[in-house]
Amino acid sequence: MAENYIAYLSRRIYFLTDKIDAFTAGCAENRLSLHLLGEYEGEEHKVTVGNFSALAKQLDISRATLYRALDNLEKKGAVIRNGKIITVTDKSKLF
């Protein structure tokens, strides 16, 4: 039981550390990149965004800045955006 509790606490620490990194990432592209890396699912590396306004608020940036960051990541070839689905194509180009 003690080992399970320690494992649980370790996962929580990693989770919270990732959240702190996202808030202190600096520029909007870095914040978005950290979010995408933390959220993509499966081998397809897709992130479904329910509401871009809510995502911008979560990342503490304006919606216009979020769209500019997405456009810049698309130009770099790091992501492909198709409506509300963002596919990470090259993780190395996110930063």
> Domain of 72: which CATH number?
1.10.10.10
User: What's the domain count of the chain?
Assistant: 1
Residue 70 confidence (pLDDT) above 90: yes
Whether the predicted model's global pTM rises above the 0.85 cut: no
Composition of the chain by helix, strand, coil, percent to 5: 60, 15, 25
The percent of residues above 90 in pLDDT, for the chain, comes to 51
Q: Which of 53, 58, 52 is nearest to 38 (CA)?
A: 58
User: In this predicted model, what pLDDT tens digit does every residue of 16-48 receive, in sequence order?
Assistant: 887 777 667 678 888 898 889 888 766 778 898
Structure tokens at 82: 């198709």
Count CB neighbours of 21 within 10 A: 13
Which residues form the domain of 20?
2-93
- Cα 2 to Cα 7, 8, 9, 39, 63, distances in angstroms: 9, 10, 11, 29, 44
